[in-house]
Amino acid sequence: LHRVVTNKRPEYAKRFDKVIFKHDNARPHVGKIVKATLEVLGWDLVLPQPPYSPDIAPSDCHLFRSMAHELSDQHFNNYEEIEKWLSERIASKDESFSRHRMQQLPD
């Protein structure tokens, strides 16, 4: 990752002497080996986010944005209708929807 950041963002590497690593609180991201590696690289850790938080997961960004747009015309009478609508919308998005949206994310 350090090499990729340096290669893809040389202007960043020239201006800053370290990378700021923003991560969630998922177990693999907070292990001793990961922390030690980040320390060796001289990367700063920012305050961790809650694990699996959909409001910060780039992969979910487009899914929720498209659902929010579709929701504007919806009216629900009970929780079951909401749950059914959400389940159908999520199930209707195939793999290509996610793949295409992930490819649109900035490097």
Domains of the chain by residue range: 1-51, 58-106
Q: How far is CA 10 from CA 2, 16, 19, 41, 58, in A?
A: 11, 10, 12, 17, 23
Can you give the pLDDT at residue 62?
A: 64
Tens-place pLDDT, residues 24-58: 666 666 677 777 887 787 776 665 555 555 555 65
Let me know: does 39 contact 21? Beta carbons within 8 Å: no
Helix (H) or strand (E) holding 6: helix 2-8
The whole-model pTM stands at 0.38
**Nearest C-alpha neighbor of 45 from the set 55, 31, 62, 56:** 31
Within 8 A by CB and 6+ apart from 85, the residues are 74, 76
Tens-place pLDDT, residues 69-85: 788 888 899 999 999 99
What type of residue sits at position 102? Answer: M
